[in-house]
Structure 1
Amino acid sequence: MPNILLTRIDNRLIHGQVAVTWSNHLGANLILVANDEIVNNEVQQSLMDMAVSDAMETRYFTLQETIDNIQYASDEQLIFLVVKTPQDVLKLVKGGVPIKKVNIGNMHYTEGKTQITSTVSINDSDKQAFKELHNLGIQMEIRRVPDEKSKDIMEFIK
């Protein structure tokens, strides 16, 4: 079974908080980005890799590649899984990826979303995905950085 230390929803994917703060806090040695768009964008991958230390590995997979290949992760890989949306997490979980805990970091406001915290805005589709994940027993918290007090996402979903 893969060593997934934490799964983070962050619409910026890899940036300083993810590359340094969270990965060091977790003791991760691999940041795995599961995203269907970024996998074909080498420029964006290179920019994200600049934020990551040389000691940290990065991989960029589509959601389906993650589902198909995560079971082949070596025992030495301590994985910090990063996705853009709760729908991505739900697809991975339904596909058999053993996700137990989800950190919700950045879900920026766009038209049609409601801001629920300073860093998280959600729409009806997001709410539905969070409800399904909750019903599947996935633990979920809103927390920007490790030393911040966490908030249960379900307290904001009616």
Structure 2
Amino acid sequence: MAQPKILLTRIDDRFIYGQDVELWNEAVDANLVLVVNDEIAADSRKWAPMRVAAPDGVWTRFFSVQRTIDIIHTATPRQWILVMVASPADALALVKGGVPITKISIGHMQAGEGKRSATPAVAVSDADTAAFKELQALGIELEIRYLPSSAPDPIGNLFN
């Protein structure tokens, strides 16, 4: 079974969002943006705005976590993939399910009840912190970076 060509895995709870995904896609030169999220995959009404926001000439797919695990290895060598997830829990499930992820770029995680601010754009819960720790223990490199041109923020704030 061939390894899928995953160019970048990014945690951003906005998924395909305006200029952000365009800049990241430009940086990695993907031709497929794969949004992996159970809720989004189950509601096709949410796909249209993201398809419009995707860069020209880039395919979009919306899969559940399990479907991604089940079929990612059927990707062709011509598919250069940017994987977008909303949470470290989804990223961890993909890694545990055998999806070959080696590095995760963390971009935006919305604040909310039970979350603390790690950076101005990243808020984490205790469950998020535990998932990030487990990802690191599995050898996954983590970085907090808003745009490809910006310097990464220290990841220590994810664990404090």
Q: TM-score range by the shorter chain?
A: over 0.9
- TM-score, structure 2 length as denominator? 0.95
Amino acid at match of 2:12: D
Q: For the Cα contact (< 8 Å) 1:17–1:145, is it kept in 2? A: no
**What residue in structure 2 maps to residue 120 of structure 1?**
122
Q: How far is 1:16 from its partner?
A: 1.6
Structure 1 residue ranges, 4+ long, deviating more than 3 angstroms after superposition = none
Q: How far is 1:54 from its partner?
A: 3.2
Amino acid at match of 1:51: A
- Please list, as runs of the form range in 1=range in 2, the aligned pairs for 1:8-157 lying within 5 A after superposition: 8-157=10-159
Q: Unpaired runs of 5+ in structure 1?
A: none
- TM-score, structure 1 length as denominator? 0.96
Identity of aligned residues (%): 46
**Number of residue pairs aligned between Structure 1 and Structure 2:** 158
Q: For the Cα contact (< 8 Å) 2:118–2:157, is it kept in 1? A: no
Q: How far is 1:155 from its partner?
A: 4.8
How large is the Cα RMSD of the aligned pairs? 1.1
**Partner deviation per Cα, 1:33-57 (whole Å, 9 max, x = no partner):** 1100001222210011111133000
Q: Distance in 2 between matches of 1:124 and 1:32?
A: 27
Q: For the Cα contact (< 8 Å) 1:8–1:102, is it kept in 2? A: yes
Which stretch shows the higher mean deviation, 105-114 or 35-44?
35-44
Q: For the Cα contact (< 8 Å) 2:116–2:123, is it kept in 1? A: yes
Amino acid at match of 1:115: S
**Partner deviation per Cα, 1:12-36 (whole Å, 9 max, x = no partner):** 1111244311011111110001100
Amino acid at match of 2:5: N
